[in-house]
Amino acid sequence: MYLNNQNMHQKIHYLFLLLFLFLGKMEAQDLSKKATTFLNSLSEELRAKAQFPLEDPERYNMNYVPIPRKGPTFHDFNDLQKEAALDLLKASLSEEGFRKTEEIRSLEKVLRIIENNDNDKMPDGRPRRDPLNYHFCVFGDPSSSATWGWRFEGHHLSLNFTSTENVISSATPTFFGTNPGIVKSTEYKGKEVLRQEAVLGFALVNSMTEDQLKTVLYSQDAPGDILSLTKQKTGNFEPYGISYAQLTETQKAIFDDLLETYLDNYEMRFATNFRDKIQEAGIDKLYFAWAGSLSPGAGHYYRIQGPMLLIEYDNTQNNANHVHEVVRDLTNDYGEDVLRNHYQEEHH
């Protein structure tokens, strides 16, 4: 039977969807297996440090500065344990997300050289700037059916995951940071880990007309950090800025690329589900707002926000060469919505 172009495209899309669901199921099954492999690789002492009950308050103890944390680090692992830990991390992120994570860790080497302060130590005596000082915590028991979570955290990284029915159901809060934002010395000179977020942000704000900019630029001064900080609940943010519906087609394309830059850090199946959730909440209800300088070199900040989404990008510290960015699901950080439904069903 003859198929017109539209039907052919629908058929191809359907086949790709089936393949995607099959591969996604295989990857999801692998996630709980990888988490179990990681825990089983640990000694009894290390496992006690790494594993917490799902409801433990530590689950919400997000931070992104170099402070003492719970959970074992790469310092505590032998080669087999380190490989198991990294396998779990790789399975929870996209290739791009994993690349950023590893390059952010490597910037600790740069800071150690730049700061040249041998007296800057953690309480355990190790250097404060240390690419091995990143912590793994598992919350609950990894399972193909139960809800459980895990976290990877250290300086400029806080990655929080929840798995339900063997699928990542929440991957927020997601915090990435870089210092230096652009490396200006050492063998890493020129490295800019979070480049696309900056390039596309400036492209979008500088595409605005004079009238649009009156709405987009809500302050001449950028805040000193992301406004949501490490709060478990972000609170209510004023919907500053311009809505997606008010953008030109060219501006919408830049906005779409900017949004995708953040979504592309996630594991494929979660990224697709998160993207669909944003669409269902209303892409036209997303707002873009800016504060501070309209060009690099001076403090600047932007955010994308909507009914269930908050993305913040801030570059003000160290002469505007120190980036903090975060993605929050306002309805499901730490799997909040998933866990609420789980407990309600359990109660019934």
Q: Can you tell me the distance from the alpha carbon of 208 to that of 151, in angstroms, rounded to the nearest whole number? A: 39
Q: Is 14 helix (H, G, I), strand (E, B) or coil?
A: helix
Q: Are the beta carbons of 99 and 89 closer than 8 angstroms?
A: no
Residues 6+ apart with CB under 8 A from 31: 88, 91, 92, 142, 163, 166, 168
- State residue 306's pLDDT score: 96
* DSSP-assigned letter for residue 104: H
Separate counts of helices (H) and strands (E) for the chain: 10, 12
Question: Whole-prediction pTM value?
Answer: 0.90
Provide the mean pLDDT of the chain.
Answer: 90
The string of pLDDT tens digits covering residues 47-68 is 999 999 999 999 999 999 999 9
Q: Are the beta carbons of 158 and 324 closer than 8 angstroms?
A: no
- State residue 134's pLDDT score: 98
Query: Could you please report the per-residue DSSP string of 70-99?
Result: SS-BGGG--HHHHHHHHHHHHHHB-HHHHH
When pLDDT is cut at 50, 70 and 90, the band that residue 345 belongs to is: low
- State residue 342's pLDDT score: 58
The string of pLDDT tens digits covering residues 294-335 is 999 999 999 999 999 999 999 999 999 999 999 999 999 999
Token digits of residue 121: 């130590």
Out of 23-37, 121-135, 190-204, pick the least confident. 23-37
Q: How many other C-beta atoms can be found within 10 angstroms of the C-beta atom of residue 218?
A: 14
The string of pLDDT tens digits covering residues 246-289 is 999 999 999 999 999 999 999 999 999 999 999 999 999 999 99
The string of pLDDT tens digits covering residues 151-184 is 999 999 999 999 998 899 999 999 999 999 999 9
- State residue 10's pLDDT score: 43
Q: Can you tell me the distance from the alpha carbon of 154 to that of 130, in angstroms, rounded to the nearest whole number? A: 10
Place of tokens 């912590």: 135
